[in-house]
Amino acid sequence: MSKIKTSLCPNPDVCGSCGWSHIPYEKQLQQKLSDINGSFAIKKLDLTVEDIFASPKTSHYRNRMDFVIDFEGNMGLREKGKWWRVIDDHPCFLADERIDELFAVVRTWTKAAGLTFFDRKSHVGLLRYAVIRATSIGETMIIVVTSVPKDDDEKASVKKALADLSDISRATTIVWSINHTISDVSFGDELHVIAGDGVINENINGTLYRISPNAFFQTNSYAAPMLLDTVREFCGDLTGKTLLDLYCGSGFFGVALARKAKRTVGVEMVKEAIADAKANADLNGVDVELHDAKTEAFDWMTIGADVVILDPPRMGMHDKALADVIAAKPERIVYVSCNYKNFAREMVQLQHHYDIEAIRAVDMFPHTPHVELVTALVRKSTL
């Protein structure tokens, strides 16, 4: 008789949000290590990861969820492989408990607000997404993404409805995000703060962070301290050194480590993220020199960085950025990768110039195949 598989997800056959919810967590960790090391073997790298830090929470850990609102007013997550179908009243067992609570409130509100729903085929209608964020210190944000109102009356109706949502949800802040395009994305290019300050705050290991509506932030606030501590450990003693944080985002690493370094420089191509990084540096009373530029287009080699943090997006580093790193040959690199396959590809070149001092996986994404991999690379003494 075959063994019956159980899943923490109520709709595992149709929802593609997690993918691994049927696998016991200890086996997930083992599989992630196996997958990482398998990628190294494919690239013929003499490298093995044995150390993986488990997430302190394996359910209700996500601090952000992007819920779809379809043309019939259904609200939830998409069906697996079907962008046009929404599993109504399906939040996610990975979402923070406060997100679950607000999901129920927002879903009820969408059906009673008197606003139209966006049709992704005809491109008419207002309500598109509800993005709900929560922090470990108890603050919450609801971002309602809509199309452009067709006239002033419709604009006034949206504002009135969102004010009502603020009253019934009691979220820390409510933001109206307008998407002026037909692109099916969960963010807009025009923001209106309906209630609160338009931002929420987080505290990770004593470092304060301001999170704006469109800002990227580490998805798992409970495992984020382990990731930050690992990067701090792998950077070594920063006393008297220049720290360069490439792909710095809103300053998650650079701001936290700036107090230890002589000079800290951050580079990030997203202007909104740079604004957040500046606010986060001010919030923590540290000095971080920030540049709004693509890593591959910015001449950072004259900075004379002793330690470089690399935290590229999932597709990995641009070829020129990798070439610049190899040419600059900083004393130490701390590479934070959310895609170990691309990291393995880049290590084929980096291994000729750097030795691996330490390597560790940090599981920021339980019940999914994703994992963060942090590597400390030290310049070869023969160079």
Helix (H) or strand (E) holding 382: none
Options 9, 15, 235, 338, the catalytic residue? 338
Could you count the other beta carbons within 10 Å of the beta carbon of residue 296? 15
What φ, ψ does residue 297 adopt, rounded to 5°? -105, -5
Check if 338 is active-site. yes
> Can you tell me the distance from the alpha carbon of 150 to that of 3, in angstroms, rounded to the nearest whole number?
55
Query: Is 243 buried (19+), middle (13-18) or exposed (0-12) by CB count in 10 A?
Result: buried
Residue in the structure block whose two tokens are 């920063």: 238
H or E stretch covering 190: strand 190-195
* Sign, Cα dihedral of 9, 13, 19, 24: positive
Q: How far apart are CA 292 and CA 182, in angstroms?
A: 28
- Name the DSSP letter for residue 17: S
Structure tokens at 56: 């302190």
Residue numbers annotated as active site: 338
